[in-house]
Structure 1
């Protein structure tokens, strides 16, 4: 047990483990990279639509400051104007909001294969444990996240303060410009500041990508014991499989025992092998094996045959071949048709003797089995 705990994770992860991590939402995708994408796409959209945004905002401002006494006193009219203004603002920024929504959802799924997983929303009392919470608070990952946040705040505040300080005179002179010119000039100042902030955050994103790659592969690596356990889990527990096979064999034996009384003949070795055959010329294309066994099962089949007055014939070669090359519930192999036909002909004669009496039919001797189906091996179990 201690060896398994102290065993180092030195093996590359399997596909199953990778998929398992993805289902839990754990990937090597950097959230800082996604944040940078959002900032970049937002900046590009604002820059691309800046003229349209400025024109429409200017139009809204003009309409907002153009008061009409009757409209001002009419409450319904005022609410309508506010609704119209909000609607216009929404339509102005709709392409911007749509692009942001796309860049928030698509990149994590596209680049990391994150799958929608609602298990994380499930309430878990273990998460309320204060001791576990303290462990997470002082973990390496939380400390790294704290350092990233501090660095980002420092870079954003430093760049913003520096750029706004050198642009302070321009900002003051905006009040002397027309409102369209002031909006345009002010947007250029904001865009330039945003561009510098995005450029300043790029090194943090690059370092975070490297950290996420390292941390992800460190977590996902496996020990040799984990690989063995996963392989065992994938293939199924051997003990369970053995129990299932035993249960299936027991069920098949019970079914076979229940079918023995319907057999037409039992072909024996005479002791080691017993094969139960059934043939209905109206329903079957060929004789069918409804039961077979060796050792104790063979003797049990013979006892059932005697109890139910079923004919028994000793044909060692034929019994061994039928046991080896046929399955319960299936037709006998075609090369054995001739040999089995001799046995069934004798069975029908026995039935006629039981009905009409007379001389007991002589059992067929020297039943020939094709050389390719001759089986001489001895079995000691019923597997």
Structure 2
């Protein structure tokens, strides 16, 4: 178990979202290079399986002039306009092989985006003494991370070397014989060989990448573990952070609004100023009791109250002056003031008449 260098004790707590965000700002994120390599191999295999034969055949036919007519070509290259001619031949060959470069580069970009590994931080560029410290480097190489990296590299290289040796042992003579064949025959053989080798490499790389992704996430979380002292300091900093205060206030307001909206279906009537205010009132009809405000709001919140009321089939009564007055003077959970009895009584009578009419339609 790692120890807190600052004397805070064992780091046994998982990193908080704030600690993860701070690490990301510094460029410290879980990034699997093996996943990127696997995607590059898969991209190459895709190119080989689709346009690879055509691309290599085109490039081979362009470059075959170096083999078929070397004396004649050399005279042209050494003469006037030779560099331009050589550049034209090479650019044509590279253009034919373009998919072998463009698709893997796209795979690298996809890998970085998928891992959310695109970060811009000056932290990594700053010189640090621990980067040149022999003790720190020894811990990296012989610690858990270094041993896992060594094991992955050893398994990957061993598996690829064994697969390559087995393939070459059985197919070497045919490959040597094809070197004296025509361009399209050589290209076909090369593509067949590439398909087999890349297929094996892709399989090995995919397995290792899957393991590496899990390991990188585990190791990242392990390195960012927190001690009890770390947690206390983070909470103390967060309490004084205006941004965190604003977030807590927003969360509290959201929770309060959701609870308030849950009470809207219990209301007897919603009194509204059509677009700006909405006040939901509930009346127990007990002697001596007055209607109670169970929800209120303006603008967007008023719209949400109306939507919930319409879904719950709660009558909505339009009375702009009363809606504004109730919103200004009555808090949630409080009874309305006597000044509003007459207007609210009219709204409740309106709501009762709508319910009575609805029941009558249901009976018929």
Given the two structures, how large is their TM-score scaled by the length of structure 2?
0.58
- Give distance in 2, aligned partners of 1:116 and 1:69: 49
Are 1:80 and 2:84 an aligned pair?
A: yes
Q: How does 1:157-168 map to 2 (within 5 A)?
A: 157-168=161-172
2:37 paired residue among 28, 35, 38: 35
Q: What is the aligned partner in structure 2 of residue 24 from structure 1?
A: 26
- Give distance in 2, aligned partners of 1:21 and 1:123: 18
Are 1:115 and 2:126 an aligned pair?
A: no
Q: How far off its partner does 1:5 sit?
A: 3.5
Contact 2:77/2:83 (<8 A) preserved: no
Q: What is the aligned partner in structure 1 of residue 181 from structure 2?
A: 177
Change (3 A) 1:203 1:55: closer
Contact 1:160/1:197 (<8 A) preserved: no
Given the two structures, how large is their TM-score scaled by the length of structure 1?
0.55
Q: How far off its partner does 1:160 sit?
A: 0.5
1:12 paired residue among 11, 14, 24: 14
Contact 2:61/2:183 (<8 A) preserved: no
Q: How does 1:304-343 map to 2 (within 5 A)?
A: none
Q: What is the aligned partner in structure 2 of residue 188 from structure 1?
A: 192
Q: How does 1:88-103 map to 2 (within 5 A)?
A: 88-103=92-107
Greater C-alpha radius of gyration: 1
Q: How does 1:1-383 map to 2 (within 5 A)?
A: 5=7, 7-64=9-66, 65-66=68-69, 67-68=71-72, 71-72=75-76, 74-175=78-179, 177-236=181-240
Change (3 A) 1:177 1:115: same
- Give distance in 2, aligned partners of 1:91 and 1:180: 18
- Give distance in 2, aligned partners of 1:230 and 1:61: 64
What are the superposed Cα offsets for residues 317-351 of structure 1, whole Å, 9 maximum, x if unpaired? xxxxxxxxxxxxxxxxxxxxxxxxxxxxxxxxxxx
Q: How far off its partner does 1:157 sit?
A: 0.5
What are the superposed Cα offsets for residues 152-182 of structure 1, whole Å, 9 maximum, x if unpaired? 1111110100111122232233145322112
- Give distance in 1, aligned partners of 2:75 and 2:84: 10
More RCO (CA 8 Å, sep 6+)? 2
Q: 3-state SS of the aligned residue for 1:55?
A: helix
Number of aligned residues: 238
> What root-mean-square deviation, in Å, do the aligned CA atoms of Structure 1 and Structure 2 show?
2.9
